[in-house]
Amino acid sequence: MHIRDGILAPEVCLAAGAISLGAITYSLRRLRFDLEDRAVPLTGMMAAIVFAGQMVNFPLFGLPVSGHLLGGVLAAVMLGPWAGCLAISMVLIVQAVLFSDGGLMSLGANILNMAVVGAWGGYAVYATIRRILGNGAAATVSAAVIAAWLSVLGAAALFCAEFLCSSRSAGVDPRGVLSLMVLYHSLIGVGEALITGAVLSFVLARRGDLVPTPNAPGSVGTIGRFAATGLMAALAVAAIVAPFKSESPDGLDAAAQDLKFDKLEVERPALVLDDYAIPVAESAWWPALPVSLAGIVGTLVVFIAAVVLAGITRRNVVPIRVADGSHGN
């Protein structure tokens, strides 16, 4: 998930860094307004929670690798988009500087993809869905599940855009990388949605008062929220559709083929072949089909998860005392 140094071009890193710096500055200003003097301890603690939560490994259906929480939407749901964005940014900073996990120069791009899209974008989706579904516990969980899924796909799409900008000058065809990334991220997105939903469901069942209502005054305006939600949805769709679209010939070529013009032009078929042929002849569609399938299956799984987790939450939300090993301090 973390972009390493050397993958993106320096100028792309610089641009992403400038945007992230702006986002962090803006978040800091809004945070003082929202949380007042609690901002520092609460945000620091949220960053530590996300960081520690990422140490919990989730087995991936028998695969030798394991997944973990990303936490953008979870942090934003608990503390609002501004603190959420800062918390994830700090996690990324510490991971880069202390663990060499994710690049230093590409830190800006990482913050943009995960903190800004994850917390701001994810929160916009969450708040919009909650406005539609209401303020019940079940609505909260389903909104967070969907927002988490969209936030991961949005991050993947943004990475694709950054990667395209970086590799344009190199003159290579980045389709393979993009398909790989989207395929991988639709899996991560399902995991993130499941974990976010389950954690939130647990928190709501025990301390529902800790989860704030998103429509408080001083939060994002309606227009901004809808704009951000639309953007997130568009990004997610782009992530799934992009490899598929780029596989088929562009409009002109398709039209030429349809009208049999390509038979008339002598050099045209060669050109088409040169553009779209892949060494293994039958596999011209290989990245596209699994990617689209992954997108569709992922969406289905996420919506089922949203419904199931919402049901569980509705049943559990009566506060129950559990012997959870807490020291009671």
Partner 1 sequence: MGTSGIGSDTGSHSICHALPAGMKLLLTLGIILVAGLIPLEHWPAQGLLLALVFVGLSLAGVTMRYLVRRLALFLPLLLVFGLSVPMARSNDAAWSWTLSLWLRCTVSFMAGLWLVHVLPFRDLLTTLRYWHFPPALIAMLGFMYRYTFILWDELRRLRNARAARDFGGGPWWRVWSINSQVIGLLLLRAMERAERTHRAMLARGWDGSIRFLDGKDAG
Interface residue with partner 1 among 88, 93, 115, 310 (CB under 8 A) is 93
CA–CA gap between residue 109 and residue 117 (Å, rounded)? 11
Give me the 285-324 binding string for partner 1, x by CB under 8 A, dash otherwise: --x------------------------------------x
Q: According to the binding rule CB under 8 A, does residue 170 interact with partner 1? A: yes
Query: What tokens appear for 208 in the block?
Result: 């529902």
Q: How far is the CB of 38 from partner 1 (least distance, A)?
A: 5
Query: What is the DSSP track for 139-167?
Result: HHHHHHHHHHHHHHHHHHHHHHHHHHHHH
Question: Chain-centre distance of CA 114, in angstroms?
Answer: 6
Helix, strand, coil shares of the chain as percentages rounded to 5? 75, 0, 25
Interface residue with partner 1 among 59, 208, 224, 269 (CB under 8 A) is 59
Interface residue with partner 1 among 16, 69, 125, 294 (CB under 8 A) is 69
Give the footprint of partner 1 on residues 102-161 (CB under 8 A): 103-105
**Segment lying near partner 1 (by CB under 8 A), choices 132-140, 142-150, 172-180, 254-262:** 172-180
Which of 232, 291 has the CB closer to partner 1?
Answer: 291
Give me the 252-291 binding string for partner 1, x by CB under 8 A, dash otherwise: -------------------------xxx-------x----
Give me the 184-203 binding string for partner 1, x by CB under 8 A, dash otherwise: ----------xx--xxxxxx
CA–CA gap between residue 251 and residue 166 (Å, rounded)? 25
Residues 106, 4 contacting (CB under 8 angstroms): yes
CA–CA gap between residue 64 and residue 76 (Å, rounded)? 31
Number of residues binding to partner 1, judged by CB under 8 A? 82
**Nearest Cα residue to 195 out of 300, 53, 20, 48:** 53
